[in-house]
Amino acid sequence: MNCNHCHSPFQVTDEDRRILNIFDVPDPQLCFDCRLQGKMTFYNRRRLYKRKCDLTGKDIVSVYSPDKPFKVYNVADWYSDKWEPMEYGQDFDFSRPFFEQFETLLSRVPQNALAILGDNENSDYTNDNYKSRNCYLIFDGEQAEDSYYGETFVYLKDCVDFLFLYRSENCYECLSCENAYNLKYSRFSKNCSDSWFLKDCSSCRNCFGCVNLNQKEYYIFNEPHTKEAYEKFMAEFDSGNCQVIQAMKQKAEALYKKYPVKALRGVQNVNVSGDEVNRSKNVFHSFDCIDLEDCRYCTDCLMGGKDCMDVHVWGGGMEQCYNDLLIGVNIRKILCSIYVSHGASEIYYSIWCLQNVQNLFGCVGLRQKQYCILNKQYSKQEYEALLPKIIEHMKKTGEWGEFFPPTISPFAYNETLAQEYFPLSKEEVQQKGWTWSDYEVETRADRMVQAHQLPEHIDDIPDDILNWAIVCEISGKPFKIIPQELKFYRQNQLPVPRRHPDQRHLDRFQLKQPYRLFDRNCDKCQSPIQTSYAPEREERIYCEACYLGEVF
C-alpha cells in the first residue's frame, strides 16, 4: 500500500485488521506518520491566548486566539446549562460528504476555551489536564500539584520544567523519568532519587553526572566514591550558579557520549515493539505508553488500554478504540473522535462528548446524551436504522475509517502538536491547503532585562524580578517569573532560567526520541535491531543483550 498523503509504502496486517474489524472500517489510506500528523493538527496543547468569553464577555485564557471565527465559552460556563448544544442540531444530508457537514456543525457549536475536564484547582493557566492543583503552564496530564512548565505527566508534586514525567516529586529539568524523587537535570531514568545529571540510570541515589548505572550510590561521573567524598563534592557544588550548572551539564553530556545506548527503552514488557513502552503486552509500533495490552500504533497513552489502535493520548480503562485523539476514563468502542471521555461508549466521529454518552455519531459538545446524530436527537430505533445508511454513504465517499481532515481543524497548523512532531514552513503548510496563524501574544512588564544581564547566582536575584520580563537568550521572546517558581528555585538552589518556557520545552523535546523506528545493526554484535535512533546519529546503539553486558 502507498500512503495517500506522502506516497511512502506502508503495511496493513491481519493484526491491524483485527481492530479495524471491530468497526467494519477498511484499511487506512494513510501511513502511521500521516495518520499521527493529521490527528495532531486538531491538538493545540500549549499555545494559550487571552481573549473574551463569547457568553459572558469576561477576560479568559483559551487555546483559541481572539481572531477565531467561532464562539468560545469559558470552561465553567461551557459546562453549565446556560446554553444548549442540541440547538445546533442538523439533519444528515446524503447528497454531501460527511466531513463537510461536520465542519458546519463544528463551526456553529461554541467551543470550550480550554481542554479542562473539571476538578482542577487554582490552575487557570494550564491546558489539557485534569485533577491538578496550584499548577501553571502544564499541559497534557493529570493529578499534578504545585508544578510548573511541563508537558505530559501523571501524579506529580513540586516538579518544574519537565517532559514525560510519571509519578515524581521535587524534580527539575527531567525528561522521560519515572518514580523520581529530588532528581535534577536528568533523563531516561527510573526509580532514582537525590541525584543530578543522570541519563539511563535506574534505582540510583546520591549520584552525580552518571550514565547507564543500576542500583548505585555515591557515584560521580560514573566513578565510585565514599560517602564522605560524595558529601564533600556536593557541599562544594554551587548549584545556584548558572555558570556552574552549564559546566556540569557539558561535562555530563561529554561523558554520556562515551557510553552505548540501548536500542529501545522500556521495561516489564512482553512482545512489544516501539520505544518508551512500559509494563505492556502484545503491543506494536507504539511510543510513550504504559500498561497497554493488544494495542497497535498508540502514542502517549500513559494510563493504559486494551485492543486499541492509532490512539494518541490518554487511556485509563480504554477498550476497542481506533483512530482517536485525547480519549480516556472508562470508554469503549470510540472511533475517529476527539475528547471523548468518562464512561463513553460507541461514539463515532465526535468531538467533546463526555460523561456517560452512548451511541453518538458526528456530535459536538454533548454530555449525558445518547442516540444523537449531528447533535440531533433520535429514538433508539431511528438511530439504529439511520447509522448503517450513514456508514454506507461514508464508505462510498471514502470517509469511513479516516480521521477528520486537517482542513476542518479549528486550529492553524503551527498552533498544534503537529508542528512539533512534523515541523513545516508556512509555505509548505499553505501548499497542503492547511492554515497557518501569524497571531502573536504580547508580554507586558515594567522592565525588560536581557537574559545575560541577570545575576548569575540565585542568591543575588532580587524579589523585584517578578516585575521584570526576561528576554530569552535564544528566541528573544520575553517571559516572566512567577512567585511560586522563584520560591522553588531558591529552596532548591537553582539558577533562574534564561530561556523562555517554550524554548525550554523545545530544548527538552529535541532530546526526546522520535515516534519512529529505524532498522539498523547493533554496534557491537552486528545483529539486526530496531531503534528510534536514526542510522546517521553518532551514538553507539546496542541490542538489549549487548547493552545489558555493559551496564553496571
Least Å from the CB of residue 423 to Zn ion: 16
Q: If DSSP codes are grouped into helix, strand and coil, which group holds residue 106?
A: helix
Cβ neighbours of 273 (radius 10 Å): 16
Shortest Cβ distance from residue 406 to Zn ion (Å)?
A: 13
Nearer to Zn ion by Cβ, of 357 and 522: the residue is 522
For position 31 contacting Zn ion by CB under 5 A, the verdict is yes
Q: Is residue 308 at the binding interface for Zn ion, with CB under 5 A as the rule?
A: no
CA-CA distance, 17 to 165, in Å (whole number)?
A: 33
Contact range with Zn ion by CB under 5 A, out of 346-354, 512-520, 522-530, 533-541: 522-530
Residue 3 binds to Zn ion (criterion: CB under 5 A): yes
- Provide, rounded to whole angstroms, the least separation between the CB of residue 29 and Zn ion: 9
Using CB under 5 A, pick the residue from 525, 535, 537, 550 that binds Zn ion: 525
Task: Name which of 285 and 333 has its Cβ closer to Zn ion.
Answer: 285
CA distances from 549 to 272, 533, 546 (A): 21, 20, 5
Helices then strands, counting H and E runs in the chain, come out as 12, 34
Amino acid at 207: C
Q: Which residue, 412 or 543, has its beta carbon nearer to Zn ion?
A: 543
Reported as half-sphere exposure (CB side, CA atoms, 13 A), residue 437 has a value of 22
Using rule CB under 5 A, residue 524 touches Zn ion: yes
Tell whether residue 418 is a contact of Zn ion (CB under 5 A): no
| 146-185: contacts with Zn ion (CB under 5 A) | none
Q: Are 310 and 33 in contact (CB under 8 A)?
A: no
If binding is defined by CB under 5 A, does position 1 make contact with Zn ion? no
Interacting residues of 253 by C-beta distance below 8 A, sequence separation 6+: none
Q: Does 5 participate in binding Zn ion (rule CB under 5 A)?
A: yes
Assess 34 for contact with Zn ion (CB under 5 A): yes
What b/e readout covers 334-353, taking b as 16+ CB neighbours within 10 angstroms?
A: bbbbbbbbbebbbbbbbbbb
Shortest CA distance to 375 belongs to which of 42, 73, 92?
Answer: 92
Nearer to Zn ion, 29 or 492 (CB): 29
Of residues 1, 6, 254, 448, which one binds Zn ion by CB under 5 A?
6
Q: Which stretch binds Zn ion (CB under 5 A): 328-336, 411-419, 494-502, 542-550?
A: 542-550
Cβ-Cβ contacts under 8 Å for 334 (sequence gap 6 or more): 318, 320, 321, 322, 324, 327, 340, 344, 345, 346, 347, 348
CA angle (271, 276, 278) in 5-degree steps: 55
Based on the shown chain and the rule CB under 5 A, indicate whether residue 522 belongs to the binding site for Zn ion.
yes
Name which of 47 and 262 has its Cβ closer to Zn ion.
262
Give the nearest distance from C-beta 516 to Zn ion in angstroms.
12
The least CB distance from residue 188 to Zn ion, in Å, is 19
Using the minimum distance from each CB to Zn ion, give the nearer residue, 60 or 541.
541
Cβ atoms of 458 and 240 closer than 8 Å: yes
The residue among 35 and 47 lying less far from Zn ion, judged by its C-beta, is 35
Instruction: Report in angstroms how near the CB of residue 547 gets to Zn ion at its nearest.
Output: 8
* Chain centroid, CA 50 distance in Å: 22
Residues in touch with Zn ion (CB under 5 A)? 3, 5-6, 31, 34, 522, 524-525, 543, 546
